[in-house]
A and B are shown apart, each in its own frame.
Chain A
Amino acid sequence: MSSTATKDTVKQAAESNPEGEGVVVLERIGDGITILRLGAADEGMITLTEQRLDSIDRAADQLAQDDTLRGVVVTGPGPGMFAAGADIRMIENVATPQEGAEGAARGRSIFGKLGALKVPVVAAVDGPCLGGALELCLALDYRIAADNAGTQIGLPEVKLGIVPGFGGTQRLTRLVGLPKALDMILQGKILRAKPAWKRGVVDRIVPAEKLLAIAIETVREFADKGSKGPTRKLRGMDRWLTHSPLRAIVERKVRKTLSAGQARFYEAPKRALELCLDAVRLPVERGFEREASVTGDLIVSKTCKGLLNLYFLTERSKRLGKSDDARSIDRALVLGGGVMGAGIAGSMVNKGILVRLCDLLPENLLGAKKRLQKTLDKKLRRRHLKKHEARAVQDRLAVSSEWGLLAQTDMLLEAVPEVLDLKRKIFAEAVERGLSDDAIIATNTSSLSIDAMSEGLPNRERVVGVHFFNPPEKMPLVEVIRGSHTSDAAVATACKLAVRLGKFPVVVKDCAGFLVNRCLAPYMNEAARLMVEGNSPEFIDQVMLDFGFPMGPARLLDEVGYDVANKVSEVLAEAFTDRMTPSPFFAAMVEAGCLGMKKDGGLYDKSGDKAGPGRAVLTALRSTRGGVDRLATRSEVHQRLVYPMIAEAYRILEEGLVNSAEDLDLGLVFGIGFPPFTGGITKYAEREGIDIVVEALTAMAEQHGNRFAPPRSLVEQRD
């Protein structure tokens, strides 16, 4: 059967589909075999909406009554698309656990009905096959996947604070065994075709072009033999670790990781573990029932709502890179080979951009190559890359003290020391060296004004800030800074670059500290004040860890370094005289030569476990207060640290520096690790109650100083 014929029939089927959009399409190809397409060819992204689930249900009924049917192939609407899982809005709209459990049970039984047809039912997957879509496949007799980069297979439900609810925990565990199922479900791993095949999630991988033909052939073979498909048995380790008492080893190991660190804030992986164990120890129907009821519990939880919001925020952020104005960056010149420049250059070459990295110090250039090699070696060890692919990445990074000429350069990105004149000189020289008029000039500054930097430069509308966070390879946020002259095209291009590098861009107008550092400053300042008042760094860190931050403020200060903290706090103090006067602690640390982890440690020692040299500085400062300690309670610490951050965030919104509250939510979760399960800082504030926050701020302003004064917009929002 030729592929053009397939397309034509699909089209006809779609056109003649009486049910309209958003439903599955049945297509009889003769010989008793029917293709069930999950959508029409022109639908684009397929999700499992209620409407589509209903239509699968009807299709299953219809197929069950067809006596001439010999087999079914379930596939996507066309090449590159299977289905991206359950419709997120459907999850969002669930109001009660009861409703959630019923919805889950319903989806699972529809898939079960399709899988239980008397004839062989084979899934042919090309493109995303995530969440509910994979659960559908798991209910069928056999799974074939296209072996190309677009095929994504996984159950990422835990990332949204829920568990696979359409039978996934039960069916996957029974199919591939406990260790492999847990590995996929608990981390919400998304696999490409080959790893999915190696784990036994799919039975066969084939070239995308031959997918449908092979799937049809496979169904025919099964039908000829009168079988539903191959019978499977777990073998070797998988069998021992699933069906013997040895599974206690797996269980213990997993429980340990699920109670450590930030994992403790998330309920879904723990419940998923129980469900996977149920799949082994309970009859299948009981397992299904439990899965549905757990899904119902989780789907209405605050964590689920928070994570759903975060998911919407990330999707929104990614769309920023899709503007028509955005240019694609193929060649970049990165200036400054320090941690930031090297890290950014490394991220770029990893995504196929040709980068020339320049620095006057050869050791910085070599450092950049080394740093990149280290990340590549790691990927090589994990077999995420092949040797020649790693070499190609390294090849893309040219390092030199010489800039060369810039006529082919699409973007110049500077990450040199924060000296205004130096940056201006660099921009002028770039123009002299032939940088074309439409090339983007980007700066990774964290404290200088974009407008000041671009002054006097021809075509200054192309100067834009792209503020990466340290370390740039890992930190997911990029603040795209719009100066008052910056063009939409430059902003869009910077966003597109960020998305290409796998980051989430957030657009902020030029102001001191931008979004993240400006919100971080009161938090850090207040932490320093609390410590000078006599509260131990361990205590303060613990309160914030218990709130859900990945790291407490004392440790964060050590990581950032006191030189940087001091410098940033000075810049911000100058801009916001009424509330950002820095704690004397930063300057004292710098004076004592205590710079943090980059040198001999700070409040903690180099190993990070014990008290570091910075404690002496703290003690000295405490004695200047007359040695009178003022110990704070946990909730005082919490309010003094988190509420001013909320206040500052709302001020940024009030001043129109960001477009919406969503920007604040995204920026602080991905910029400083504000607890993701809250859904973001404004969601958290709303959850706490705006009036409570305002009251607490007002009270603290009276007690501790005007720096706590709540912003106008927050006061007005109070009910």
Chain B
Amino acid sequence: MSRSKQDTLAIIAGCRTPFARAGTDLKRASAADLASHVFREVLDRSAIDPASIDEVILGCGGPDAGEANVARVAALRAGIPEAVPAVTVMRNCASGMEALFAAEMRLRAGEGDVFVVGGAESMSNFPLMFNRRATDWFASLARARSLPQRLSRIAAFRPGFLKPRVAILEGLRDPISGLIMGQTAENVARRFGISRAEQDEFALESHHRATGALERGRFADEIAPVPVAPKFDRFITDDNGIRKEQNAEALAKLRPVFDKKNGDVTVGNSCQVTDGAAAMLVMSEARAEEFGLEPLALVRGHSRAALDPAYMGLGPVHATPDALRRAGIGFDSVDLFEINEAFAAQVLGCVRAFESDEYCREHVGLPGAIGSIDPAKLNVNGGAIALGHPIAATGTRIALTLAEELRAQRKRYGVATLCIGGGQGQAMVLEAA
């Protein structure tokens, strides 16, 4: 299926912050701090008139209470004119890809054709919250007027009020199945018989590939170094989750965290909890021609799909076929894959499911297997196990890194896809421009 240039979304330019493990280099930066930095960079680098932007669309899984529509806050702080609207979108782990998708939908609906999109997450700043009882107590204290009333409310304080709700833990638990994300990965591992050794090997490879990419300077262009406020005593220039010295022995020593007795999923073969943001300038292919801008890649297909939340890790298998169909290409035409590495078990599970007649027939509703993925084409610069997974930023990052890799390798088609907590998958087909 081919679309007109007016209906085709082109990726013009993009950049990201370095990805930093939560609680480290970027811990003082909020999601809006990170997002405004990449917005400003992407505009300064591409030099389009910011007034020509039709909308700013930012994915964010957990905006701070003080910047609920973080897209708007970040857009204004980046110097984007007041008259440009901004929306924050949220589809858990795929929020950053959802932003691209939302832009494409607006484009096709004829509601604008130039967008700044992205994803930003400050997992360091996911809050600790007061529990229900404490909240009620504060409310009753605030209502107490007279001194005796106040004293009696103060006397009603109990130590249990101090037990916080941890937003990040609650966010990573699926409220329908009751499972923590890592437990869904254990499910996938068991479903396909993926061993601990296989998972660790995949994790090790992710670090190796990321180390290689870092040393080749592959990330230098996409990373916009961040001067760290408020002291500005250093620039953060590199991702800090990549472990050059990672080895199989060290990984093997780690204890499983989600199923302590019988599990295989460890912190070593899961993605890291990370802060970061990524942004892109996207517009219709027609508009890019008009501006005389050379796109990096064109979005050819796009889809979302959903499945059992307990097996959310297999989302990419469900989403990819439709995206390919819409792009009008076969699985074999795909030169490069980016499957977000939520867990090694989950990526390996996807690879198995793609090539499983049984899974594709029974769960995806296809006549047979979709196809095999050559490991040499998959996550060639490493993935979230090494770089980290700042929830909403990842969707934008993998689309950007895929677009750049297609260009670098002079390849044509690529698929970027993510699994999504809650039992969904999202996928996107890019064609090098």
Chain B residues contacting A406 (CB-CB under 8 Å) are 47
Query: Assuming A366-B232, A366-B234, A370-B232, is B48 touching A400 (CB within 8 A)?
Result: no
> How far, in Å, is A643 (CB) from chain B's closest CB?
47
Please tell me if the beta carbons of B45 and A405 are within 8 angstroms of each other in the complex: yes
The residues in A between 360 and 397 inclusive whose CB is less than 8 angstroms from any CB of B are 362, 365-366, 369-370, 373, 391-392, 394-396
- Is A402 interfacial (CB 8 A cutoff)? yes
Identify which of A362, A395, A400 contacts B78 (C-beta below 8 A).
A395
Shortest distance from the beta carbon of B162 to any chain A beta carbon, whole Å: 28
Q: Is the CB of B47 within 8 A of A434?
A: yes
Kindly state whether residue A354 has any CB partner on chain B within 8 Å.
Answer: yes
Set of chain A residues within 8 Å of B45, measured between Cβ atoms: 402, 404-405
Query: Which of chain A's residues have a CB closer than 8 A to the CB of B78?
Result: 395
- Residues of B with Cβ closer than 8 Å to A? 36, 40-41, 43-50, 77-79, 224-225, 227, 229-235
Kindly list chain B residues whose C-beta atoms are within 8 Å of the C-beta of A408. Answer: 43, 47-50
Report whether over half of chain B's contact residues are helix, strand or loop; otherwise say mixed.
loop
Residue of B nearest to A377 (CB): B230
Contact A366 B50 (CB under 8 A): no
Whether a CB of chain B sits under 8 angstroms from the CB of A398 is yes
**Would you call A362 and B47 a contact (CB within 8 A)?**
no
CB contacts (< 8 Å) of B233 on chain A: these are 366, 370
Contact A404 B47 (CB under 8 A): yes
Q: Whose C-beta in chain A lies nearest to the C-beta of B44?
A: A404
- Interchain nearest-CB distance for B320 vs A (Å): 35
A706 to chain B, nearest CB (A): 53
Which chain B positions have C-beta within 8 A of A369? 227, 229, 232
In whole angstroms, how far apart are the Cα atoms of A610 and B227 in the complex? 39
Q: Is A631 an interface residue (CB 8 A)?
A: no
Q: Across the interface, name the chain B residue whose C-beta is closest to A388.
A: B77
Q: Which residue of B lies closest to A368 (CB)?
A: B232
Which residues between 402 and 457 of chain A lie within 8 Å of chain B, taking CB atoms?
402, 404-409, 434
Residue of A nearest to B221 (CB): A402
Are B227 and A405 in contact, with the CB atoms below 8 A? no
Residues of B within 8 A of A399 (CB): 227
Contact B232 A373 (CB under 8 A): yes
Min CB–CB distance A409 → chain B (angstroms): 8
**Majority SS at the chain A contact face:** mixed
Which B residues are CB-close (under 8 A) to A354?
79
Determine whether A356 belongs to the interface, using a CB cutoff of 8 Å to chain B.
Answer: yes
Contact across chains for B36 and A373 when beta carbons are under 8 A apart: no
**Using a CB–CB distance below 8 Å, which chain A residues touch chain B?**
354, 356, 362, 365-366, 369-370, 373, 391-392, 394-396, 398-400, 402, 404-409, 434
- Since A404-B44, A409-B47 are in contact, a sample of 18 more A-B pairs with Cβ atoms closer than 8 Å, ordered by chain A residue number, is A366-B227, A369-B229, A370-B231, A373-B229, A373-B231, A373-B232, A391-B77, A395-B40, A395-B77, A395-B79, A404-B41, A404-B45, A405-B46, A406-B47, A407-B47, A408-B43, A408-B47, A408-B50
| Max count, chain A CB within 10 A of own CB: residue among B78, B224, B232 | B232
- Could you say which of B44, B49, B232, B235 contacts A356, with CB atoms under 8 Å apart? B44
Residues of chain A within 8 A (CB-CB) of B231 are 370, 373
- Which of chain A's residues has its CB closest to B47's CB? A405
A349-B225 Cα distance, complex, nearest whole Å: 20
- Contacting B235 at CB < 8 Å: which of A362, A396, A407, A409? A362
Can you sample 8 A-B contacts with CB below 8 Å? A366-B232, A369-B232, A370-B231, A395-B40, A400-B41, A400-B44, A404-B46, A407-B48
For A434, the chain B residues whose CB sits under 8 A away are: 47
Inside 8 A of A396's CB, which chain B residues have their CB?
79
Task: Give CA–CA (A356, B78) in the complex, Å.
Answer: 12
Q: How far is the CA of A406 from the CA of B45 in the complex (A)?
A: 8
| Cα-based distance from A405 to B233 in the complex (angstroms) | 27
**Given A362-B235, A366-B235, A370-B231; A398-B40 close (CB under 8 Å):** yes
What residue of chain B has the Cβ atom nearest to residue A401's Cβ? Answer: B225
Q: Which residues of A contact B48 (CB under 8 A)?
A: 407-408
Closest 9 CB pairs of A and B: A405-B47, A369-B232, A404-B44, A407-B47, A404-B45, A370-B232, A395-B77, A354-B79, A366-B232
Q: Is the CB of A392 within 8 A of B224?
A: no
Contact A400 B47 (CB under 8 A): no
- In the complex, how many angstroms separate the beta carbon of A343 from the nearest chain B beta carbon? 15
Provided the pairs A398-B40, A404-B45, A405-B45 are in contact, do residues A373 and B224 lie with their beta carbons within 8 angstroms? no
Q: How far is it, in angstroms, between the C-alpha of A399 and the C-alpha of B229 when the chains are bound?
A: 12
Asked whether, in the complex, the Cβ of B79 is within 8 Å of the Cβ of A365, the reply is: no
CA distance A395 to B40 in the complex (A): 9
Kindly state the separation between the CA atoms of A365 and B228 in the bound complex, as whole angstroms: 12
Set of chain B residues within 8 Å of A392, measured between Cβ atoms: 77
Q: How far is the CA of A392 from the CA of B82 in the complex (A)?
A: 14
Q: Which A residue sits closest to B78, measured CB to CB?
A: A395
Kindly list chain A residues whose C-beta atoms are within 8 Å of the C-beta of B43: 408
| Cα(A270)–Cα(B55), bound, Å | 60
Q: Which of B36, B43, B227 has the most CB of A within 10 A?
A: B227
Please indicate the chain A residues that have their CB under 8 angstroms from the CB of B47 in the complex: 404-409, 434
Q: How far is the CA of A407 from the CA of B46 in the complex (A)?
A: 9
A379 to chain B, nearest CB (A): 14
User: How far is B232's CA from A362's CA once the two chains are assembled, in angstroms?
Assistant: 11
Our pick among B36, B46, B235 for the contact of A395 (Cβ within 8 Å) is: B36
Q: Decide: A373 and B227 in contact? CB cutoff 8 A.
A: no
CA distance A406 to B44 in the complex (A): 8
Chain A residues, Cβ within 8 Å of B36: 395
| Least Cβ–Cβ distance between A99 and chain B, in angstroms | 54
Residue of A nearest to B229 (CB): A394
Residue of chain B at shortest CB distance from A353: B79
Q: In the complex, how many angstroms separate the beta carbon of B149 from the nearest chain A beta carbon?
A: 33
Partner of B227, one of A365, A404, A409: A365
Cα-based distance from A81 to B174 in the complex (angstroms) = 62
Complex contact A398–B41 (CB within 8 A): yes
CB-nearest residue of chain A relative to B235? A362
B residues less than 8 Å from A365 (CB atoms) = 227, 235
Q: How far is the CA of A394 from the CA of B229 in the complex (A)?
A: 9
Kindly provide the distance from the CB of B34 to the nearest chain A CB, expressed in whole angstroms: 12
How far, in whole Å, are A82 and B333 apart by their CA atoms in the complex?
A: 75
State A392–B230 Cα separation when bound (angstroms). 13
| Minimum CB–CB distance for A404 against chain B, Å | 4
A392 to B45, CA, bound (A): 21
Residue of B nearest to A436 (CB): B47
Contact between chains at A373 and B79 (CB < 8 Å): no
Name the CB-closest residue of A to B49.
A408
The residues of A that contact B79 with a CB separation of less than 8 Å are: 354, 395-396
- Cα distance A396–B44 when bound, in Å? 12
